[in-house]
Structure formats: C-alpha cells, structure tokens
Amino acid sequence: MPLPAPDARHPITLPDGTLYPGTVLLDQVIDNPQFQVGAYTYASDFDPPQDWGRHLAPYLFPFSQERLIIGKFCSIANGVKFITAAANHSQAGLTCYPFPVFSVGTRAGYQTDLRDTVVGHDVWLGYGAMVLPGARIGNGAIIGAGAVVRGEIPPYAIVTGNPGTVLRYRFAPEVITRLQDLAWWDWPHDAIVQAESALLQGDVSELETLAPPRQ
C-alpha cells in the first residue's frame, strides 16, 4: 500500500470517498515555529480542533523559548497533551507565583525552564498520555494510554502509568540495535513503501535486505 501524500492535510479517506477530518498530518497544520514535526506523523482527535498546535501543546507559544520536536512516522492519539517548559514556575524563591508575566515590562525573556521536549521517530502515544517538560522519548517507544512521561525514555520501551515507568521493551536488545542502525524512517519514500511488509510482519532480516545504500 502506498503512503499518503506527504502534503495531505487529512491522510484518511472514508469508504464514501470523503476525507476524515479527525486525523491530520501534523507538519501540514502546525504554524508555530517552536513546534517542529517530521513527515507522516499524524494526530487524531474525536473533536478536531481549529488549532492543532495549541490543542496538543497549550503552553507552547510562538514566543516560548523552548521547542517541541517530534520525529517522523509518529502516531498521536486522542487526548494526548505536551506540557512544555514554558508552563513551569520557578521554585527558587519563597513563592511559585509568576509575578513577572503580568507586566509587559518584565515578561519579555522571563522563562525559568528552557528545556526542549523531544519525541523520536515511530513513537506511538496512546489515548490521554501526557508528556511533561524536558521529556526525551526514544525511537520506537510506546507510551501507554494515560501515562505521564518525564525524563529519558529508551528506544523501543513500552511505558505505562503515573509516573510513567518502563514496563518492558518491544524487542530484544540486539534487534533494537539493528533497528536503530537501519533508521528506516529516514529512507526514501519508495524504499519505505517497498519495505511495508517487512515492517508490519516484524522481519528485521528482510528489512535489512531492503535497506537502500548509505549515502
């Protein structure tokens, strides 16, 4: 099966031929310069918002000093939220109340947490998952429904609960190493289409035979 057109806003066509409005390719709908997202990453919502960027990352403003970076081929379910660094309050003083944000003169440049939040490639974020400021989620990870994620999540880990903890890994360590080395998400479009069967059937050896020559 071919991939959807990389410039398609709505990649799913219903049986009646209409486009399903509840799923979007995020790189086609995000206009916030602090929100970077890779090709073919999609988000779904039962009540499609007008502003997908604000819906997913409500504290990531165009003037925020951190970035939210999401890789290619990620799947983002209904209710997922990214709570980015601009949401954090300083704990250095006697109060956490953010006095400077209420004055134009003191608001500029005031941000106590500057950490980027980074999601790798081929990550599946389940229903209602929450990703906290500064989280770094490795390639191929699965974030379970309702999980609250912070810190470093290793590649191909399955994370559940609050706080989010690694339940297990999707594959044996040597398979994870091979997948990381293959980095199939960076392959040319035609090579990925040709590799669809190997990807869906979990055939790493076949995937290796289909890998395009390294540049």
Nearest-CA neighbor of 179 among 119, 118, 121, 117? 121
Of 41, 16, 15, nearest to 26 by C-alpha is 41
Nearest to 54 by CA among 30, 21, 76: 30
Question: How many Å apart are CA 32 and CA 146, to the nearest integer?
Answer: 26
Our answer to whether residue 89 is catalytic in this structure is yes
- Of the residues 55, 89, 121, 189, which is catalytic? 89
The answer for residues whose C-beta is within 8 angstroms of residue 211's C-beta and 6 or more apart is 182, 184, 187, 191
Any alpha helices (H) in the chain, and if so which ranges?
Answer: 52-56, 104-107, 173-182, 189-194, 196-201, 204-210
Residue for token pair 């709505």:
10
Query: Residues 64, 89, 127, 3: what is their CA dihedral angle, to the nearest 10 degrees?
Result: 20
Q: Tokens standing for 170?
A: 């999707």
**Residues whose CB falls within 8 Å of the CB of residue 17, separated by 6 or more in sequence, listed in order:** none
Supply the residues annotated as catalytic.
89
